[in-house]
Amino acid sequence: MRLRAFSLLGGLLLSGLLTTTAFAAAPAGKVTIDANGCTFRVMIDLEQAHDLVGWKVKVYDAANWNEGLTLFKGSGPTDANGDMVVGPFTAPEGHYNVAVDDEYPPDGSSIVVDFTLSCPAAAPQPTPTPAGNEQGAQGTPPPGGAELGASGTGGVKGLTPPPTNTVAARTDPGSGDRLVVLALVGLLAGSVLVLTIAQPARVRARSTDPRRRR
């Protein structure tokens, strides 16, 4: 009798525990998803503050949300108003759900919300187009080496190219005239000298002529 009584009491307690767990109420409040492309945040807004709130983000499973692959999970307290923000997270494009409970891990008494992420295609980058005319390099060239004369047909208007080393040196025009003058002076001096020497000879010749002595 006692054994049957203990068995019956144990069965009642187990049934009551299972029934309480199965019909436990979810925490009062709401959960929303703030998504921007494939980046999202979980916005938890409960009606009262909780010291511990557990949450999971899972791949969507239509049969049982708890059977989906868990991507993100965690727990923590809410603020004084019962608010809590989780994220941001980034996931591939697809269908997901989030479970929030006033315990960890979340169970069948959780607030469960499903959502989808749509990742926009990356916009092609435009090719930069150069604007205006290209400007030449500016600045002062470094000194060194000989200066080059202007050449070509497309030079600056009015620019006179400087003389180059290929031009032969010109002879001073006055040097030739001086040589001619010196030559004339030498010739004149020679003539005077010849006349001076020849004059005494003629005088001596006249003085020795016998016909003049008679």
- pLDDT tens-digit series, residues 90-140: 999 999 999 999 999 998 889 999 999 998 876 666 776 666 555 555 555
pTM over 0.95: no
pLDDT of residue 72: 96
Q: What is the chain's Cα-based Rg?
A: 61
**Rounded mean pLDDT of 82-94?**
95
**Residue type present at position 161:** P
C-alpha–C-alpha distance, residues 38 and 97, integer Å:
14
Q: Are strands 111-117 and 70-76 parallel, antiparallel or unpaired?
A: unpaired
